[in-house]
Amino acid sequence: MSKKILIVLSALASFFLFIHLKELKERQLDVPIFEKYSYSKGTAEEIEKETLPESDLSDYCLRLINSDHSFTDEDLTMPLKPLAEGYEVAEVVVAPYESMEKAANKAGITLKIISAYRSVSYQEQVYQDNLSENLNQGSTKKEAQKLTEDYVAKPGTSEHHTGLALDVLDVTWLDSGNGLVGEFGETEAGKWLDEHCAEFGFIIRYPKDKEDITKIQYEPWHLRYIGKEHAQYMKTHGLVLEEYIELLENEQHEKKESETSKSTSKETTKKS
């Protein structure tokens, strides 16, 4: 009888010890997570303000080009420099692209440029040629325009006019007869670019899940140079250029407002 009680007691004791240890373990796990969140994370808004890179919205590399923000040949204020195979880019893009190319090589990927700088007048010519072709094939003017704009950016709305954009694939993909299609994003090279291009200052300008904002279908090959700090920030926070520029503009607006209110309060102090 007493043996039975002893067994029951020791079983109970080890059960409570187990629960206690488990609790301790869980608490220990909770601590670093709690600390991590309370010290370095804060609210989403706080992080953005804390770590938003220094920026000058008139910086050529931050220029936003889309159907609402156009570009003319006169806006090309940065000199162009040659890259491999006669492609030209804005001079600031040469060194970062070459570094990225080398890093890709080390990972066993041979990048291949498909398109780089295109002038607005060249785009106009491509657009008109495509439009005439569609008209010749019997489309109405409206239909022909629609067909053309499905494949050719309207002159003045392409990032390629800036010299900051490049269309890039890799040799393996090209050699198997593929081109500029979304599936490139699933290849080793497409994944490598997505993962590493920000380290060299590039962004995948038209990602899959932001088509409603960029108004451009997913283009895993279209890289836009924006600078390392900006690119890394955008990647970390999952932003597209439209969102990022808005964030920078809001921050600048807030800074101005707080400066104005500071100077106004100083003036009030002086007067009184």
Q: Which residues bind Zn ion (CB under 5 A)?
A: 167, 222
Q: Read off φ and ψ for residue 252, nearest 5 degrees.
A: -65, -40
Of 123 and 187, which has the nearer Cβ to Zn ion?
A: 123
Nearer to Zn ion, 108 or 179 (CB): 179
Q: How many CB atoms lie within 10 A of CB 94?
A: 16
- Provide the minimum distance between the beta carbon of 136 and Zn ion in the complex, in angstroms, as a whole number: 26
The values of phi and psi at residue 78, to 5°, are: -105, 135
Dist CA 216 CA 210 (whole Å): 9
- Specify whether the CB–CB gap between 94 and 117 falls below 8 A: no
DSSP per-residue letters across 162-225: GT-EEEEEEHHHHHTT--S-GGGGGSHHHHHHHHHGGGGTEEEEE-GGGHHHH-S--EEEEEEE
Residue in the shown chain whose Cβ atom is closest to Zn ion: 222
Residue with smaller CB distance to Zn ion, 112 or 248: 112
The distance of closest approach from Cβ of residue 225 to Zn ion in the complex, given in angstroms and rounded to an integer, is 12
Q: Is 112 strand, coil or helix? A: strand
What gap in Å lies between CA 221 and CA 184, rounded to an integer? 7
